[in-house]
Structure 1
Amino acid sequence: MPHSQDTPLAELLPPLSEHEALVEANRCLFCYDAPCTHACPTHIDVPRFIKKISTGNTLGSARTILEANLLGATCARVCPVEELCEGACVLGAEHKPITIGRLQRYSMDFVYGGDVQVFGPVRATGKKVAVVGAGAAGLACAGELARRGHAVVLFEKRELAGGLSTYGIIGLREPVAVAQAEIEMIRRLGVEIRNGVELCRDVALADLQAQFDAVFISVGLGGAPALGIPGEEHIVDGLEYIEQSKMDAGMLRVGRRAAVIGAGNTAIDCATVAKRLGAEEVTIVYRRSESEVSAYRHEMEFVRKEGVDFCFLAQPVKVHAPEDRVTALECLRMSLGAVDTSGRPAPVAVAGSEFVLAVDQVIKAIGQQKPPLAQALGLKTQRGYIDVNAEFETSARNVFAGGDCIRASGVCSTVMAVQDGKLAARAIEKRLGS
């Protein structure tokens, strides 16, 4: 696909040239029972796709990837490969691991950059499936079902499909064009996408159950929780900040001195955007210590190199905004107490430890709330998330779910959501008797 580094938020890594890809592919040991494949949540046959690159069969390489993961272009860019496939590479013990993510991107760029059709037409089964939510899980499920001949209608409440790949992952890692290229491929498989349609607002679950043979729900999470502090109305939502940076960066207000509350990957992305778009000082404020951050370590290293500072063991308590102009973020020093329900030491306020950070912008990136539709749908829930069995089926027969909206036990990465969608599609196909 075309690559440009003309703007501060352009995709960070350039694509591999053909020569670079061949050299890197030929470093691979092509392991039997490869650890890298086991480390991939979608179980891409990594040695096989790399071997095909090494022999000049890039289309075959892409097909190998897409047969396991229909969002291979996204995952090549946003997967924490350092923790997954590349982290498991046997060459990593004494040498540099194979750059699996970049090789996967090479094959995916070949497909999307050249408008190559990977999958051919299939015979229709006569079965109809509704998929609600066009994020990673929904797209994967819809595409897998369409590949098997089922008629699929994908309902998405936003103007564009793609979920976080389109709106919530900074362009430095995944440009909008990459997400939209994958969505176009899903359309070509035969999936009908209806944008601007929200479950429980524009269409009822009961109506979908009546019109379709099965339903898959992948509605993601809710908005960011409130901090409940004075001046919170002057805080910018982190996901909205990232979305604006992708959709119209020229209209994004960037402070000279910005504070980002939270220390997950979204907080890292917000800090990166602020710094790259001109903020002189950016500070990530986190109420626990560095040992408890949820962001990946390689992301922490990256943002430090970008010039972002960290303020650990600090809890924001007030945004100072005289005349509606942010001037400071007041915080309390914290200490760590007993382990709480999250499995981490609970932050405890230190009395009389107030201090002030001089900032003119505060961004909140403290995670998202439980899916609001979980209760509204009348399905069985677990800790506020949609409850599913081992086959991803909910308490309602022929209604399945996956992705963030079912993750009562922890976060769901993009690649995990893709695997949810793929496995749910298989369960749906089994139920439909195909």
Structure 2
Amino acid sequence: MTSKLQDGIAAGRLDDEALQANFADLHPAYDPHEALVAADRCYFCHDAPCMTACPTSIDIPLFIRQIATGTPEAAARTIFEQNILGGMCARVCPTETLCEEVCVREVAEGKPVEIGRLQRYATDTVMAKGSQPFTRAAATGKTIAVVGAGPAGLACSHRLAMLGHDVVIFEARQKGGGLNEFGIAAYKSTEDFAQREVDWLLQIGGIEVRYGARLGEQISLQSLGEDFDAVFLGMGLAGVNALGMDGADKAGVAAAVDFISELRQSGDLASLPIGRRVVVIGGGMTAIDAGVQAKLLGAEEVTIVYRRDKAAMAASEFEQDLAAQKGVRIIHNATPVGVEGNGSLSAVRFAYTETVDRKLVTLDEGFTLQADQLFQAIGQKIDGIPEELDVIGGKILVSETGATSVKGVWAGGDCATGGDDLTVTAVAEGRDAAMDIHSALTGAAG
């Protein structure tokens, strides 16, 4: 975290017992009886809207029926066949806006089948045994380079390994997992689950991970193209959009992703400094995660400020409600115009906004929030896209199957054009690119 320690920012605002309670699992796991009761609510729809809403197209009615008949291991295989990171997705997917939103029970009764928790029950049952449910096909003699050990890269690598290819993953950090490890609120993924999932996935064999290798520094697209039969780019979004206003470099101002990453990697939450009055700028999941965790660390006042109205927020209504329940205030229709303070942050000035003909207009009226810590969550960007690749909107241009403008190079996840910036979408894109790579290298149909 780039914020410097200053007056008003301190560690140990809460004791260990309070911190453990605050950062406990957001959605505790089902026990076997609870899972059976929850599964029994499913209508097992033939033309299931939940399956259509799932970016990885998991056969949801089938896996829930398998749980209902006492075979959670079979349910897990049904899930993993489509989404090898089904365990993490069960924890972090915004199911309230995907599968559960279109559940027939939700439409009729306002209470959906808890698909996410049922998915977690099944996947945890298999992962607890420590073994992979899949084996590798006969060796093809082909080797693929995968850049990035995040959800897209891991999903691509696992599918390629299953198909008999050898894979080398190049990861810039010293630990794999990507967004799952560094960018998600700690209460959504407890007990080091992200790393346990990576270790479990790699048990398929045929995958080597080389850490500390960043594209554009230790490796280049040209060298990978020369040394490997194909390349998949899944490096995510490493850069952070700047506030672009005076005072943004003052002590106490930091990127929300850095705060979340530091918190996720901390072995002692009581050692993390947090302000008394914290302001977060943004309207997505990152802003909510930063704001809620600041409150859980002991901040007295936490305010999230978003430039548009509530309906335009990228964070789901569930996430917004969670923030409110934790005591986080959300202000809509306001944009930052200045940071005050003599060297260190003391306040943030905002101007009200309104939308006119779908364009955001900044008004003359505004307000000031006293603050000793400011987290910016206004989006991320890719650093160092190879110049050989076609780019649109700051992302690598890809086809429906992930092929880029360069022959032999595919891309997926947050760094590429495609769907929403979600773990589950990245998994789908990595998996589908792997199938297209397999087809290109062997002539086999996907």
- Normalization by structure 1: what TM-score? 0.93
Q: CA deviation at 1:391?
A: 2.6
Q: Output aligned runs, 1:23-422, within 5 Å.
A: 23-95=37-109, 96-175=111-190, 177-190=192-205, 191-234=207-250, 235-248=253-266, 249-322=269-342, 324-339=343-358, 345-346=359-360, 348-351=361-364, 353-369=365-381, 371-374=382-385, 376-407=386-417, 411-422=420-431
Relative distance call for 1:74 and 1:209 in structure 2 (3 A) is same
Per-residue CA deviation, residues 95-153 of structure 1 (Å, 9 max, x unaligned), is: 32110000000011112223133113432111111110111111110011111111011
Tell me the distance in 2 between the aligned counterparts of 1:333 and 1:168: 30
| Partner in structure 2 of residue 342 of structure 1 | none
Tell me the distance in 2 between the aligned counterparts of 1:23 and 1:176: 26
Per-residue CA deviation, residues 317-338 of structure 1 (Å, 9 max, x unaligned), is: 222222x332211122223223
Per-residue CA deviation, residues 67-95 of structure 1 (Å, 9 max, x unaligned), is: 00001011101111111111121122223
User: Which amino acid in the other structure matches residue 233 of structure 2?
Assistant: I
The residue matched to 1:32 in structure 2 has which SS? Answer: coil
Per-residue CA deviation, residues 291-324 of structure 1 (Å, 9 max, x unaligned), is: 32221111111111111112222221222222x3
Contact in 1 for aligned 2:19/2:296 (Cα 8 Å): no
| Partner in structure 1 of residue 438 of structure 2 | 429
Q: Sequence identity of aligned pairs in percent?
A: 43
Q: CA deviation at 1:410?
A: 6.3
Tell me the distance in 1 between the aligned counterparts of 2:307 and 2:45: 44
| Partner in structure 1 of residue 12 of structure 2 | none
- Structure 1 residue ranges, 4+ long, deviating more than 6 angstroms after superposition: none
Tell me the distance in 2 between the aligned counterparts of 1:106 and 1:309: 33
Per-residue CA deviation, residues 334-387 of structure 1 (Å, 9 max, x unaligned), is: 232232xxxxx31x2222x24211111111111112x2232x342122233211
Contact in 1 for aligned 2:131/2:203 (Cα 8 Å): no
Which deviates more from structure 2 when the two are superposed, residues 49-58 or residues 238-247? 49-58
Contact in 2 for aligned 1:205/1:377 (Cα 8 Å): no
Tell me the distance in 2 between the aligned counterparts of 1:251 and 1:34: 48
Q: CA deviation at 1:59?
A: 1.2
Tell me the distance in 2 between the aligned counterparts of 1:5 and 1:73: 25
Q: CA deviation at 1:5?
A: 8.9
The residue matched to 2:96 in structure 1 has which SS? Answer: coil
Q: CA deviation at 1:272?
A: 0.4
Tell me the distance in 1 between the aligned counterparts of 2:375 and 2:77: 41
Per-residue CA deviation, residues 234-262 of structure 1 (Å, 9 max, x unaligned), is: 31110001111111133322111111111
Tell me the distance in 2 between the aligned counterparts of 1:410 and 1:81: 16
Contact in 2 for aligned 1:187/1:193 (Cα 8 Å): no
Q: CA deviation at 1:390?
A: 2.8
| Partner in structure 1 of residue 3 of structure 2 | none
Tell me the distance in 2 between the aligned counterparts of 1:215 and 1:334: 45
| Partner in structure 1 of residue 5 of structure 2 | none
The number of aligned residues is 420
Which deviates more from structure 2 when the two are superposed, residues 69-78 or residues 25-34? 25-34
Tell me the distance in 2 between the aligned counterparts of 1:86 and 1:302: 17
Q: CA deviation at 1:193?
A: 1.1
User: Which amino acid in the other structure matches residue 374 of structure 2?
Assistant: V
The residue matched to 1:373 in structure 2 has which SS? Answer: coil
Contact in 1 for aligned 2:287/2:377 (Cα 8 Å): yes
Q: Which has the higher contact order (CA 8 A, sep 6+)?
A: 2
| Partner in structure 1 of residue 14 of structure 2 | none
Q: CA deviation at 1:7?
A: 4.1
Per-residue CA deviation, residues 256-303 of structure 1 (Å, 9 max, x unaligned), is: 111111111110111000111101111111222223222111111111
Relative distance call for 1:176 and 1:196 in structure 2 (3 A) is farther
Tell me the distance in 2 between the aligned counterparts of 1:59 and 1:293: 38
The residue matched to 2:249 in structure 1 has which SS? Answer: helix
Which deviates more from structure 2 when the two are superposed, residues 192-201 or residues 286-295? 286-295
Relative distance call for 1:354 and 1:89 in structure 2 (3 A) is closer
Contact in 1 for aligned 2:132/2:204 (Cα 8 Å): no
Tell me the distance in 2 between the aligned counterparts of 1:232 and 1:40: 39
Tell me the distance in 1 between the aligned counterparts of 2:151 and 2:27: 22
- Normalization by structure 2: what TM-score? 0.90
Contact in 2 for aligned 1:5/1:11 (Cα 8 Å): no
Q: CA deviation at 1:39?
A: 1.1
Tell me the distance in 1 between the aligned counterparts of 2:363 and 2:369: 17
Relative distance call for 1:176 and 1:197 in structure 2 (3 A) is farther
Tell me the distance in 1 between the aligned counterparts of 2:208 and 2:407: 24
Which structure 1 residue ranges, 5 or more long, are not aligned?
340-344
User: Which amino acid in the other structure matches residue 393 of structure 1?
Assistant: A
Q: CA RMSD in A?
A: 1.7
Which structure 2 residue ranges, 5 or more long, are not aligned?
1-17
The residue matched to 1:87 in structure 2 has which SS? Answer: coil
| Partner in structure 1 of residue 36 of structure 2 | 22
